Amino acid sequence: MINEYTGNSSSYTVSFSIKYETKFGQNVYLMGSTPELGSWKNKVAKLKWSEGHIWRIDILFPANVRWFEYKFAIENNGNLVWEKGHNRLFSRKHFEEDDKISLSASWERFSLTFMIYFPSSSSDDVMQIMGGARPIGNWYKEGGKPVLMSLGSEKFMYGIRGRFWELSVEFDATDNQNFDFEYRYSLFNKSTSTLTF
């Protein structure tokens, strides 16, 4: 819901960045579904170039903006070339306690972080993930294999305090296979080579 913000601040800032090597005279814009992002029509959010071909912009959003869609676009001679693939989606739900949020991106790519809480009694256990997209094994097709996860530091999430198994994976935003896939976690024991689903 749009007005369920429970923090103390009346606004929050999102720092966007994307790595993109432009040609002389090109600019990078952030376009999106809110007035702060031009409501998909107006070029109001022009990013600034910094060393390493990183383009950046900080945008202040009112607290009642709970989610929005956005994309990056390159301006060349007055024309916009939009990145391909589905719109990017931001949800405030995942950053409730933060008044300053950083989002970094790669052109026509997106990252997903998979997390699962599963305490194990054996140091030989490792969590892995397999699914129907190429970056997570493609269900063993095309030589795919399960991808190992790592045990992160202790944190409080979803009402649980503990160490979560985590894996961040980058996906190609132009590959439709990466937008509708199933996946499964499994626990692999390195000493016994047993797999538990």
- pLDDT tens, position by position, 58-110: 999 999 999 999 999 999 888 999 999 889 999 988 777 778 999 999 899 88
pLDDT tens-digit readout, 17-27: 999 999 998 99
| More confident call, 184 vs 160 | 184
Domains located in the chain, CATH noted: 11-107 (2.60.40.10), 111-196 (2.60.40.10)
DSSP string, the chain: -TT---SS-SEEEEEEEEE--PPTT-EEEEEESSGGGGGGT----B-EEETTTEEEEEEEEETT--EEEEEEEEEETTEEEEPSSSPEEEEGGGGTT-SEEEEEEETTEEEEEEEE----S-TTEEEEEEESSGGGTGGGGGG---EE-EEEEEEEETTEEEEEEEEEEEEETT-GGGGS--EEEEEEETTTTEEE-
Residue 150 clears pLDDT 90, i.e. is over it:
yes
